[in-house]
Structures are given as structure tokens and as C-alpha cells.
Structure 1
Amino acid sequence: MNITKEQIDELNAIVTVAITKEDYHEKVEKILKDYRRQANIPGFRKGHVPMGLIKKQYGKAVLVDEVNKLLQDNLNKYLTEEKLDVLGNPLPKQQDNFNWDAEEFAFEFELGLAPDFEVPLKSKKAITHYKIVADKKMIDEQVERIRKQYGKLKSKSEVGKNDELNGTFRNEAEEIENKTTIELDKIKSKKSKSLLEGKKVGDVVTLKTKDLFSEDYLLSSALGIARDKAEKLSIEVEFTIEEINERELAKMDQELFDKLFGKDEVSSEEELKAKIKTDSEKQFEQQSDQKLLNDLTENLIENTKFELPTEFLKKWIQMTGEKPLTPEEAEDEYEKSEKGLRYQLIEGKIIKDNNMDIQFDELKEFTKDFIKSQMAQYGQTNPQDEELEPIVMRVMSNQDEVKRLSEQLMSQKLLNLYKEKANLKVKEVTYENFVKEVYG
């Protein structure tokens, strides 16, 4: 067997695999002899069927199968040994005069080669890295929510300014009938609020859904309908008041602090607010980091210049899907996937240049930390290693979980590298201003 490569240009090559009779003859003969021993053909005793008949019946199929096995095994071995960084898979070239009755065969494959390029991690223009801070307003609102959540309900006979109402929303035409609880301080419409104030249990109030609540998501929850339907809804609904409650705020005392954080972890209002600030800003880091990762990805794609074997890739997309595509469909698919392919190459280059391959021990440690964080959400804040070990091994025996966690770990490693080497400018913002700047 002989394999040769013809370089067409920097991004395209043709590999020719030449197979002679000596490469496959012995294996084909052995398989046909096995067939002969096992064959049950009328008119012949088992094991005594003439070899000529066996070859006539099975010879071509066995030959094709064995040559294809030889072809794939040796082509893959060649690509590995020659360290050819190919995109997609080798594509067999059409050979109109190919003849399986010949004793020697030559197969040609088109290769699309990955480009050689450098990744400019430090861009000329600085990229904004948002540091989201919890301001006084946010902390005070969180304290208010906590005091409400742990406060006591006091039944009332008449609706006041900041009461909670249990009742049922109805609209027959829209098939709405939903029991819910609404808080008057979450009602945005002044008219709607005034209609409710002073009402008693059993009263029915007609309200307009448009701009009813201060937060859009509250309408879908209150009416028991899908979010997308609620966003477009502008109707009148009847609300029947079934219960009126005033919520007395919980006292800011040690009993409340212990409920929130465990015994004696927090012992004053100042410590509570400091804890809320720290915990909130830690949660905000995930959103800030995701925004930074998205911006850096876009920046790298835009500023890392290299050519791709475009025509090869379009042909590969056209031929290797579940069903063959037209040239126009392949063109469309290529345009959709080009950006993602470019970033895959860029990310692979960064990982290789910075020796960032994931090792088993660090993936195991990352998995353990992930499980500990999950357990902490359910109150298990300090699990022992002997308790964690079987859970870690069970998770790591699942290939899908390993893939997902490996991707998360690599994203974290890349983010740490970018924070160290990229041209970043830190900008402190409140969460409210972060949302305005990032999401408009």
C-alpha cells in the first residue's frame, strides 16, 4: 500500500491511497474459506461447496468490504502520523473509470486543511468588564423582601394601601379563571389600585390588564396564562376578593438572622446588609462573566483573520448530512455555521498554545465543587469527602455529564486566561444600569 499527498494550496490537498493485491488477497481468501466451511447450498454437502461458486456468490462483496476497511484504517493512520489538521472529513473524489474487477486500486480523497494563524488576545480597543455592585436601594429592597417573607399575616376586613389579596381572576372569553395572591404595592396602575382600596371580601372589581403590574411577568402568573400571551393581552378581567391580609414585617432580631444564615452567623442589621451585598455581588459575577465571555468571543472572531477552505467545506456540508443538499442549501448552511467554525478553530488554537487541556484530576475536583454548590442550595453546607466521592464517581460515569462539565470547566479556564491577558477596562455599575446598558 502506498499513500501520497498532493498539496493544491495552503488549505486544500489530495491524498491518493494505492492498494495492491498483496494488501488484501490473504484476508479475502481466509474469509471466503470460512464462508465455504459454513455455506449451506442445495446440491452440495456442507463444507464441500466448490470455491469457484463461493467466489462467484460472495467474492465481490468480501473484496469491497475488506478494501474499504483497509482504506479507512490506513487513511486515518496516515492523517494521524502526518499530523494533518483536517476540517470535516476526507471526501472521496468521483472516479468514473473505477473498476472493482481490477487487482490494484487507487482512491483519491479531497482534504480541507485548517489554516495557520495567530490569536491576538490583547485587542487594541479595551473591552468592558462589568463589575456589578449591589447599591443601597437594592440592599434595602432585599431586606424588605426578607422581612415580608418571614413576617406574619394579619387578616383584615377592608383593603388598605399595601395589603395582600387572595382572589380569583376571571375572563370567560379568554377562558381565564385563576386563583392567586396579589400585592397592592406591585400594582402599577394608579386607577386599578384606587379601585381595589376600600373593597371588602366578596367584592368583584373590574381591572384592565394593560400595565396592571409593575413587573410584566406578574401578569402571566396572576392570570395563569403563558408569558407570551400575557405580553400581548389588553382586556378587562374581573377580580373577586376572597381574603384580605396585611403583612406585618418580621423584626430585625437574632431569631430572623439565625433563620436566614444559621446560628450566630449574623448578629446585626449592618452585618445582614453586608452579607446580602456580598452574596448578591457573587451571584452577579456569573452574569458579568458571561457578558465578558460573549464580548471577547465576538472580538476574537472579528479580529483573528484567516482563510478557510470554503469550497471544500460547502461540498462537505452538501454530501455528509442525513440527506444530500443542493448547492444552494449547502451555501446557506455554510453561512450559518461559518462563525461557529471560526471560533472553534480560535478556541482550539488558544487551548493548544496555552497548554489548557483538561486533566482528569482537575475535572474531578471541578465536579466535586459543582456537587457541593448544589448540595448547599438544599442546606448541606459542609459535606464530607467520603459522602461526596461516590456521587462524584457516579456523575463522572455519565458521558453526557462529563461532556457538559468539561465544557463548563474549559469556559472557566478560558475566562481566567482572558482576564489575565486581554485588554479589559473594569466598569462598576448597579444591576439596574447593567441591564439597561447590556439589554437596552
Structure 2
Amino acid sequence: MNITKEQIDKLNAVVKVAITKDDYQDKVNKILNDYRKQANIPGFRKGQVPIGLIKKQYGKAVLVDEVNKLLQDNLNKYLTEEKLDVLGNPLPKAQDDFDWNNENFDFEFELGLAPEFDVNLKTKKPVVQFKIVADKKMIDEQVERIQKQYGKMLSQTEVKKNSEVTGTFKNEAEEIENKTTIELSKIKSKKGIDTLVGSKVGDTVTIKTKGLFKEDYLLASALGIANDKAEKLNVEVSFNIDEINEREPAELNQELFDKLFGEGNVSSAAEMKAKIKEDSEKQFEQQSDQKLLNDVTEKLIDDTKFELPAEFLKKWIQVSGENPLTDEQASEEYEKSEKGLRYQLIEGKLIKENDLQVTLDEIKEFSKGFIKSQMAQYGHMNPTEEELENISTRVLGNQEEVKRLSEQLMSQKMLDLFKEKSNLKVKEVSYENFIKEAYK
């Protein structure tokens, strides 16, 4: 067998594979002899069928199968030994005069080669790294929410501006009938507030839906309808009042602190606010980190210039799926996937240059951290090492989970690399301003 490579240009090559009879004949003969020993053909005793008859019946199929195995094994071995960084898979070139009745065979494969390029993390223009801080307004609002949540409900005789009112919204034409509780503090419409204030249990009032709440999503919840319907809704609904309450805020005392943070961990309102600030900012880190990862990725794709073997990749896309694509469909798919492919190449180069690896031990520890956080959500705050070990072992028995955790861990390592080596500009913002600036 002889394998040679013809370089077309920097991104394209053709590999030629010449297979002779000597390469496959012994294997084909062995398989046909094994067939002969097992064959049950009427008129012949088992194992006594003439080899010529076996060759006539099975020879071509065995030959094709063995040559293809030989071809694939040696082609893959050649690509590995020559350290050819190929994109997609080798594409066989069509041969109109190919004949399986010949003894020697020549095959040709088109290759798309990965480009050579450099990645510079120190981009000229810095990437903004948002540091989200919990400002006084946010902390005070969180304290207020906590006080409401743990406060007492006091029955009222009539609706006031601080009331929580339970009742049923109805509109027959729009098929609305939903019992709910609304807080007057969340109503935006002045006319709606004026209509409700002074009402008593048993009263039915009529309210317009358009602009009723300060937050648009509250209307869908209050009426028990889909968000898209609520967005367009502009009708009058009746509201029959069943119950009126005032929520007396909980006192900021040791009893509340112990409920929230565990016994003795917080002992004053100032410490409570400091803990809220710390916990909030820790949660915000995930969002700011994801934003940073996305922004550095986009910057690298924009700034790292290299050519791709586009025509080869379009051809490969055309034939690699379950159903063949037209030229136009393949071009469209290539346009959609080009950006992702560029980042895969950039990421691969960064991983290699910075020797980023994910070990099984790291995946195991990473999975334990993930499991611990999941258990905490269900109130199990201090699982034992044995519990974590047992659950982790079960999780890592699933190859799909191992792959997912491995990708998450590598993503974290890439983020750490970006933080260490990229040109970043730290910007402190409130959460409200982060949303405005990051997703404007």
C-alpha cells in the first residue's frame, strides 16, 4: 500500500491511496475459507462446498468490505502519523472509471486543513469586565421584601393603598376567570388605585387592564392568561373582592436573623445588610462572568484573522448529514456555523498553548460542588463526604454527564485564562445599570 499527499494550497490537499492485491488477498482468502467451512448449500456437505462457488457468491462483497476497512484504517493512521490537522472528514473523490473487478485500486480523498494563525489575548481595545455591586437601594428593597415575607397578615375592613387584596378577575368575552391576590403597591394605574381604595369585602369593581401594573408580567399572572395575550389586552375586567389584608412587616430582630442565616451568624440589621450584599454580589458574579466570556469570545473571533477552506467545508456539510443538501442549503449551513468553527479553532489553540487540561479528579471535585449546591436548594446544607462521593460516582457513570461537566469545567478554565491574560477594564455598576449596559 502506498499513501501520498498532494498539497493544493495552504488549506487544501489531496491524499492518494494505492492498494494492491497483496494488501488484501490473504485476508479475503481467509474469510472466504471460513465461509466455506460454515456454508449450508443444497447438494453439498457442510464444509465441502467448492471454493469457486463461495468466491462466486461472496467474493465481491468480501473484497469490497476488506478493501474499505483497509482503506479507512490506513488513511486514519496516515493522518495521525503525519499530524495533519484536518477539518471535517476526508471526502472521497468521484472516479467514473473505478472498477471492483480490477486487482489494484487507487483512491483519492480531498482534505480541508486547519489554518495556521496566532491568538493575541492582549487586544488593543480592552474588554469591559463588569463588577456588579449591590447598591443601597437594592439592599433596602431586599430587606423590605424579607420583612414582608416574614411579616404578619392583618385583616382590614376596606382597601387602603398598602393593602393586599384577594379576589376574582372576570371577563366572559375573553374567557377570564382567575382568583388571585394583588398588592396595591404594584399597581401603576392611578384610576385603578382610586377604584380599589375604599372598597370592601363583597364589592365588585371594574378596572381597565391596559397599564394596570408597574411590571407588565404581573397582568398575565393576575388574570391567569398567557404573556403574549396579556401584552395586547385592553379591556375592562370585573374584580370581586373576597379578602383584604395588610401585611405588618417583621421586626429586624434576632429571631428573624436566625431564621434567615442560621443561629448566631447575624446579630444586627447592619450585619444582615452586609450579608445580603455579599450573597447578592456572589450571585451576580455568574452573570458578569458569562457576559465576560461572551464578550472576550466575540472579540477574539473579530480580531483573529485567518482563512478557512470554505469550499471544502461546504462540500463536507453537503454530504455529512442524514440527508444530502443542495449547494444553496450547504452554503446557508456554512454561514451559520462559520463563526462557531472559528472559535473552536481559536479555543483549541489557546488550550494547547496554555496546556489547559481537564482531569477525571477535577471533574469529580467539580461534580461534588455542583451536587452540593443542588442539595442546598432543597435545604440539605451540610452533606457528608460519603454522600457526595456516592452521588458523584453515580453521576460520573453517565458518559453524557461526564462530557457536560468536562465542557463546563473547561469553560471555567477558559474564563480564568481570560481574566488572567486578556486586556480587561473593570467597571463597577449596579445590577440595574448592568442590565441596561450589558443588554442594551
TM-score category by the smaller chain? Answer: over 0.9
336-345 vs 173-182, greater mean Cα deviation: 173-182
Q: Structure 2 counterpart of 1:158, which letter?
A: E
CA distance in 1, matches of 2:223, 2:55: 76
Residue 229 (structure 1) shift: 2.5
**SS of residue in 2 equivalent to 1:308:** coil
1:63-87 alpha-carbon deviations (Å, 9 max, x no partner): 1111111111111111111111100
Structure 2 match to 1:20 = 20
* Count of aligned pairs between the two proteins: 440
Q: Percent identity?
A: 76
**SS of residue in 2 equivalent to 1:380:** coil
CA distance in 2, matches of 1:236, 1:61: 77
Q: Structure 1 counterpart of 2:372, which letter?
A: K
Structure 1 match to 2:125 = 125
Provide closer, same or farther for how the CA distance between residues 272 and 365 of structure 1 changes in structure 2, counting only shifts above 3 A.
same
Residue 130 (structure 1) shift: 0.8
**SS of residue in 2 equivalent to 1:247:** strand
Residue 228 (structure 1) shift: 2.5
Q: Structure 2 counterpart of 1:120, which letter?
A: N
Residue 419 (structure 1) shift: 0.8
- TM norm structure 1: 0.98
Q: Structure 1 counterpart of 2:129, which letter?
A: H
Structure 2 match to 1:340 = 340
Q: Structure 2 counterpart of 1:201, which letter?
A: V
Structure 2 match to 1:3 = 3
Structure 2 portions without partners, runs of 5+: none
- TM norm structure 2: 0.98
CA distance in 2, matches of 1:125, 1:395: 42
Structure 2 match to 1:329 = 329
1:292-342 alpha-carbon deviations (Å, 9 max, x no partner): 111111100000010000110011011111111111111111111101110
Q: Structure 2 counterpart of 1:184, which letter?
A: L
CA distance in 2, matches of 1:237, 1:52: 90
CA RMSD of the aligned region, Å? 1.2
Structure 1 match to 2:365 = 365
Residue 16 (structure 1) shift: 1.0
Residue 144 (structure 1) shift: 0.4
Structure 2 match to 1:103 = 103
**SS of residue in 2 equivalent to 1:84:** coil
CA distance in 1, matches of 2:425, 2:376: 33
CA distance in 2, matches of 1:272, 1:205: 41
**SS of residue in 1 equivalent to 2:418:** helix
Once the two structures are superposed, the pairs formed by residues 40-439 of structure 1 within 5 Å of their partners are 40-439=40-439
252-261 vs 214-223, greater mean Cα deviation: 214-223
**SS of residue in 2 equivalent to 1:117:** coil
**SS of residue in 1 equivalent to 2:49:** coil
User: Deviating runs (4+, > 3 A) in structure 1?
Assistant: none
CA distance in 1, matches of 2:167, 2:55: 84
1:357-384 alpha-carbon deviations (Å, 9 max, x no partner): 2111111111111111212222222222
CA distance in 2, matches of 1:344, 1:208: 53
CA distance in 2, matches of 1:228, 1:163: 29
Structure 1 portions without partners, runs of 5+: none
